[in-house]
Structure 1
Amino acid sequence: MYQLVAIGNALLDTEFKLTDEILTQTGLTKGNMTLADTDEQTALFDILNTHGLTPTKQAGGGSAGNTVACFSALGGMSFYNCRVGHDKRGVFYLSDMANMGVTIDGGKAEVAGATGTCAVLVTDDGERTMQTNLAVSGQIDETNVDFDALTGAKYLYLEGYLAMTPSVQDAISKLCQTAKAQGVKIVVSFADPAVVRFAKDGVMSWLSDGVDMIFCNMDEAKLFAETDDDIQAVHALLNHAKVVVITNGANPTTVADKDSVRLYDVPPADVVDTNGAGDNFAGAFLYALAQGADYQACVGLAGAVASRVVSQFGARLPKAEYGLIKETVLG
């Protein structure tokens, strides 16, 4: 029986450290994710190679993948619906997730073709900019989903990037219907400002009947609400979710429901790389919530995990480190 069931893009992350000047030459929008085909991804790597840049790190990634990896590494039981290629990258990805304690049905997830990749470009201020070639993940559909995994689960987690993938919408609709029938809470993560800018209609289709929780950052909240006012953004999201969790960098995190809007401080961090911060925050928050913790304790654990993630390269910590943070924060 799983506590958290998620669906998302399975991607192998390749990280590069670079200057703002080189980032400008790539034509990518700083802080956003851009989808690319194989030729565009190759052209990007050519630009990076021209400047003598080599990867600082390569690891399993994907927004929801990072979330379930964090949740499981903390001691939770999670299941991940995804789609990988029958190639070396796919084998690495499945093995990497298994090592973090995440269950994936390889028979459903693995298909002929290439595993998706994500070039993560990290500038000197720690901001991450991404270019993603979805490859086979871009065709994820019902055949890759185990609906039975929802039986007895606490949460169904939907990754915002999938709002850009037409093939998966029927599966997501069926997952939501199954979740509601079984009393499983539906959680949506916006994941990236680009999702709100370019796939808001897709996200709205998930929110149309209301969900239990939304995770996003304040920039995404304001884009969604089309406002520059923090409180207006919060209340706009509460029209679609029972609970809203909004991170805001080093500023306090907002947790709001119909009764109140609360602000919780997060620990300071020496920012090296923001890749995966929000994903890990959501995973740690949901883990603590699944254990019966109050919102302050949930933010305490989530903030501690996220602050450690941004202080190093890569979107995930070693599995043992998650346990050490949990012991320190929750005892």
Structure 2
Amino acid sequence: MSDFQVLCIGNAIVDIVARVEEDFLAEHDCVKGSMMLVEAETSARIYDAMPPAVERSGGSAGNTAAGIASLGGKAAYMGKVHDDQLGAVFSHDIRAVGVHYQTPRATEGAPTATSMILVTPDAQRTMSTYLGACGELALADIDEDIVARADVTYIEGYMWDRDSQKEAVLKAMDVAHEHGKLVSLTLSDSFCVDRFRAEFVDLVEGRVDILFANEAEIKSLYQVETFDEAIERLRPHVKLAAITRSEKGSVVLSQDESVTVPAHPTSLVDTTGAGDLYAAGFLHGYTSGKSLEDCARLGSLAASEVISHLGARPEVNLKKLAADELGL
């Protein structure tokens, strides 16, 4: 048995979450529903204009690691923060929820990354992200021993935005496969797919064992109009894929079967972290030997909890919730 079920690698970010009206997005040139990379000055300008906000440790893969820990699983995380106040907050938070985290903090260069998450009344989130220190994750930060000790290495697509990050995670993929372990990728954002479509197609068709995407992302990957067209394009290449469809639930594809699972009922407050927590539930189930249907049910349950409140990390014990709601 491996020491870790899942190693998550991603951008270590402190989320700053606030509710705003639609005109706030227009005023600050934000594309609704997207994740845009911004410079420090733009980040500061948006922060100064935001209404009262909640600051929480986040980052896509960090949220997934926290979700796995909440489910009672063993997760590790790699992501770069600076040796500053927000870096200390991030490091404390992820360790406090039970995630193994040892990436050295940067002592030079940019400060810890922040993401201004603007939640409109329809619960959609729009992110303006200043990568800061997290964009400096490099080969030297990849602990090959940790990769070798994890059943699955899970990587967020956002890591392709910096060459040093990309080099680092490609190395992690190679190490995982050298040790007979699995590689998982989340496409992260349809705008991210637009930026790196050709590379993502090559990854999905050649190096990824478990793919996560939502409907918009998989349609963007194959540049098709309908979900069914995207699935037909994906099917010949997929080893295992979990595609989320918001209120329509999720579809899981393997080489042998296709499983459709409905969304878990909830009250929608903030969609931030929905895909991250779905991946957490699914990967926890998969590395625990659950059926694909139960993996998807765990994913849907974890996603339903996180979208019922502001912020991208669970506010209840997911292990207890899964036992109470699903008997898992």
Question: Structure 2 length normalisation: TM-score?
Answer: 0.94
Secondary structure at the aligned position of 2:206 is classed as coil
Distance in 1 separating the partners of 2:9 and 2:242:
20
Distance in 1 separating the partners of 2:82 and 2:202:
29
Distance in 1 separating the partners of 2:310 and 2:63:
14
Q: Work out whether 1:327 is the aligned partner of 2:309.
A: no
Look up the match of 2:158: 161
Q: Work out whether 1:170 is the aligned partner of 2:167.
A: yes
Distance in 2 separating the partners of 1:237 and 1:129:
28
1:32-55: CA deviation from partner (whole Å, max 9, x where unpaired):
10000101111222333xxxx110
Distance in 1 separating the partners of 2:30 and 2:63:
23
Distance in 2 separating the partners of 1:240 and 1:135:
35
Q: CA deviation at 1:281?
A: 0.5
Counterpart of 2:178, as a letter, is A
Larger CA deviation: 229-238 vs 279-288: 229-238
Distance in 2 separating the partners of 1:173 and 1:265:
34
Distance in 2 separating the partners of 1:252 and 1:321:
22
Secondary structure at the aligned position of 2:135 is classed as helix
Unaligned segments of structure 1, at least 5 residues: none
Q: CA deviation at 1:73?
A: 1.6
Q: CA deviation at 1:259?
A: 2.6
Q: Work out whether 1:185 is the aligned partner of 2:182.
A: yes
Unaligned segments of structure 2, at least 5 residues: none
Q: Work out whether 1:89 is the aligned partner of 2:86.
A: yes
Cα RMSD between the aligned structures?
Answer: 1.5
46, 49, 55: which is aligned to 1:47?
49
Q: CA deviation at 1:21?
A: 1.7
1:293-313: CA deviation from partner (whole Å, max 9, x where unpaired):
111111111111111111100
Q: CA deviation at 1:150?
A: 1.9
Counterpart of 1:67, as a letter, is T
Tell me if the contact between 1:81 and 1:109 (Cα under 8 Å) persists in the aligned partners. Answer: no
Distance in 1 separating the partners of 2:41 and 2:196:
23
Cα 1:256–1:163, aligned 2, differ >3 Å: closer, same or farther?
A: same
Secondary structure at the aligned position of 2:241 is classed as strand
Counterpart of 1:59, as a letter, is R
Q: How many pairs were matched up?
A: 324
1:299-314 map, 5 Å: 299-314=296-311
Q: Work out whether 1:133 is the aligned partner of 2:135.
A: no
Look up the match of 1:31: 33
Q: Work out whether 1:266 is the aligned partner of 2:263.
A: yes
Q: CA deviation at 1:86?
A: 0.4
Look up the match of 2:11: 9
Look up the match of 1:75: 72
Tell me if the contact between 1:94 and 1:104 (Cα under 8 Å) persists in the aligned partners. Answer: yes
Distance in 1 separating the partners of 2:8 and 2:262:
28
Q: CA deviation at 1:169?
A: 2.1
Counterpart of 2:322, as a letter, is K
Tell me if the contact between 2:157 and 2:192 (Cα under 8 Å) persists in the aligned partners. Answer: yes
Look up the match of 2:195: 198
Tell me if the contact between 1:163 and 1:203 (Cα under 8 Å) persists in the aligned partners. Answer: no
Tell me if the contact between 1:90 and 1:110 (Cα under 8 Å) persists in the aligned partners. Answer: no
Question: Structure 1 length normalisation: TM-score?
Answer: 0.94
Distance in 1 separating the partners of 2:211 and 2:305:
23
Q: CA deviation at 1:144?
A: 1.6
Q: Which runs of 4+ in 1 moved over 6 A?
A: none
